Structure 1
Amino acid sequence: MVKEFDVIVIGVGMAGLNIARRTRAAGKSVAVVDELPYGGTCMLRGCDPKKVLVGAAEVIDWQRRMQGNGIVGQAQIDWGELMQFKRTFTDNPPKMLEKSLSKSGITTLYGSAQFIDENTLQIGDETFVGENIVIATGAKPRPLGISGEEFVATSTDFLELEELPERLVFIGGGYISFEFAHIANRAGAQVTILHRGNRPLEGFDADLVAELTTATEELGIDVQLQVEVTAVEQSNEGYVVQTADGLRFDADLVIHGAGRVPAIDNLNLEKAGIEFGSQGIIVNEYLQSISNPAIYAAGDVAATDGIPLTPVAVTEGIVVANNILNGNERSADYTGTPSVVFTIPALARVGLTEAEASEQGLKFTVNHQQTSSWYSSRRTNEKHTGFKVLVEEGTERILGAHLLGAHAGEVINMFVLAIRHNLTASDLKRTIYVHPAESSDISYMV
């Protein structure tokens, strides 16, 4: 028996949830399906549980920085207790979401969905037809293509560790590796990051990345650059990571931090005539498949100009829901999308880097300074803080802002507002800020 719906959403993360709820609220018959617990990567296996662990690591870091400045004693992380606390954020949402979706009249399904024609899905032993089908399956770790890849743990595995191993090796120098390395280091682990490029965190400002790398190495984290991992082998004491240069690194756990790719391999997209590439499903400005008008895509799985972040997925979900309900009339606006590496200190960016602004032929001034001597850094004894702000000549538009510091993830939002709503450097200077607060430093950055 074939079951028919107005909308079927594959993937119940932040993009899929927004689409399902909005189309159902408008009276559409809606079904959702996921092979994983409802909630998606951010809520269950990424941003939210990670930030819980970061919070504990921040306590350790703050106390260490203030030793000799009025703080005595030494706190420690009890990993088991911390993971129990983390689970209070991740254990209940899947059931709560299923209950909430069902209560609103959405059909909730579990399993692997596969296309069998342009608008028909096979899920287990059942067949489902959707007038519109939305693909919101997110991303998964990029295949490493190395011998022993099966021994490499994922970021999801790290966030489920009951005990923290003594020796960790991260493959790749992206935000996952750096964030988890900073957490594990504060929890007492010996940590190594192996990155094949000549600098890590390649999407962020080079000068601030260099400062963060220095801070990372001062913690005792071994950051190895221009090192290509070729194999992972089991040993009597754990694992051995081998490189093209013949280097060997011993580890109790090896963790994948070398990027993610759209999770589309098992959908049988070809049977639905859906065009896709390495960046995901190829869509038009309305997030509709360019080759199958019944299909939309949102979030990390869609090949768009949006970076793979939860707020982008939410935005794209809202756009897709609108276009399904009202016809293609809305596109996503990615202007001023910020990104943050939640290391300690945190690294944030919004807008253009110097290289990007130069490539576009823009004329701009660069305000760049290391700020450990500023009050906002000195009061908590932070050694590695700084900023870089790009201001267009003539217009005073903020072209890009890059921050390194404990509160970078919050202060960057002021620059997001400036870029998205065309506030100038003079506008920011004239603003009266709370003092003393980290955001009040903005008037000295522009």
Structure 2
Amino acid sequence: MNLAAILPPLVTIVGTTAFMARMMIGSRGEQVETVTDWVAEAPMELKTSILVFCDPEQERMMWRELGFGSVEAGFPTVLDVQYTSYGVDVEVQMRGGHRVADWTDQGALDALAQYVGAPEVTALSVYPGFIRLQVRVVDTLATPSLLPVVVSDDVDLEAVPAGVFEDGRTWTVPVQGRHILAGGRMGSGKSSLLWSLVNGMGPAIRSGRVELRVIDPKGGMELGFLEPLCTRFACTTAEEMVELLEETVTDLQEATQRYRGKVRKPVPTPENPLVVTIIDEAATLSAFSDPKVQARFERAHGLLLSQGRAPLYSVIETVIDPSKENVPQRQLLPYRIGMGLDEASQVAMIHGQGARNRGSYCDRIPYTTPGVCYVQEDGTAGFQRARAFMVSNEDIDRIVAEYAPPQPDFAPQGDYSDFDPDDLGEGISGDDQERAA
């Protein structure tokens, strides 16, 4: 239901009208059901929530017991209760004087969860004056989804499949036109995310519409298997990795000259591909390298992020700690994926101030669900929970074998039919003689 469209009538919904609105549950299918029907078929963990939130008397008792309202001060009003894949969503109109922080406070949410007997209750602000409580009794992302084996040849690079949302929809990531930052502790699933994105871009990599460049400061241990799909791969020294970034900036600036005055929004083709640079654990270069290398990295990194969007240059970057020291130019990475984090303060680092009020709880993602994350969909309020696809060793082997771009053919010049490698004397090795033959 669109709150903006129903704001005027909301203020008049009181007493019996509100009760009947919650009694007649019509959004779950063609058959209109009563609360009694709903409770009868709801899982045991959800029955109390439905009974409380669908009965105004029970609701007011709860608000009074939890300190959210009183007869003198007034009460919040439940406007709608909807079944979801994880439990129920409850739309609440806050009473006068309440702040969003009163509802997103962890102590208040825990008290709500205990009252209705649910494992977890989360809250987010969907419109000024209103709050959405999410009663969670099922974790739909507890089991990861398998990586798709078949990817469309005409994959949309502005919507690359990366995983699933908790409501079952495919989670897509805008690689073209948006720089991406993924922050998460060790073991949070960043590698699965990167491989999921590579798999989603696979046909475009194979056809040449996407050119992949990778910087792996972990010596290739993390993304070394990705090298056959890359046109550039750097993993040994900080100097080598920064040089790759500087080379990419040079290519970017040459591309801007090619496009200047000819096209406003280039379309990736094998002749003019989308150049995707993956930087795994960027803090190795931005914070933990030699000061001179850091300065070179920051300059090249800033140029690539600030100028790359229009001429088809995109960056996908991962970091363990998304602090300003480790990602000094994070404001230039607009699409942010918050994976499992250790501290509540890090949620604001990855998703901005007030992220908890908008539904991002990255620090509450358990270690047992790597790949789970919070992202903000364009055009939607708050954050959505998603999980990157599960990527196995077999998946990696398949991706590399299936999507490696064709290597340029070697075409020697001139006639070498009478060439004899022995004529070169002792200066040529046996291997070189074999190649020459």
TM superposition score normalised by structure 2: 0.28
Instruction: Point out the structure with max Rg over C-alpha.
Output: 2
Structure richer in helix, relative to its length: 2
TM superposition score normalised by structure 1: 0.28
Structure richer in strand, relative to its length: 1
